[in-house]
Amino acid sequence: MSTAAQILAVVIAATLVMVWVMESFLYRQPRLYPLFLTKPGDYDAVRLWTVNLGFYNLTTAVALLAGVVLVQTDHLPQGEALIIFTAAQHTFLAVVLVFTERRLWLNTLLEGVPAAILLALALN
């Protein structure tokens, strides 16, 4: 697996950790309302999905990092499988997001484009 793919996997993982913090712990911050399309006072209603989605993102970050570690420790097929699956998953989820809520098109680009690039790099 190329160095570029591994670096991008680590960058995406770091981004997902930041998203985990925002979704699981900072979702009540008014400056994040536009990101989640929420209004003041909605956070109690959306707590369940933001916290759970945040932890999904954390486990995805862990899978990407585990994939890179496996690649680096001569477990190439296993590491590539984790990275390719995770990249494909996030590419797919970005498509689902844009069809579910078109107003989140920027979130879709931020999630889907790096994942699609990683998928292309990992498959080459």
| Residue pointed to by tokens 């699609």 | 116
* Residue ranges, the chain, pLDDT below 70: none
- Give the per-residue pLDDT at 21: 93
- CA dihedral over 22, 52, 121, 91, signed as positive or negative: negative
**Which residue range(s) make up the domain with 116?**
3-123
122 with 80: CB under 8 angstroms?
A: yes
- Tens-place pLDDT, residues 55-83: 999 999 999 999 999 999 999 999 999 99
- Give the per-residue pLDDT at 32: 77
> What pTM value is reported for the model?
0.89
CA dist 119 and 15 (Å) reads: 17
- Give the per-residue pLDDT at 38: 78
- Give the per-residue pLDDT at 29: 82
- Give the per-residue pLDDT at 81: 97
- Give the per-residue pLDDT at 16: 96
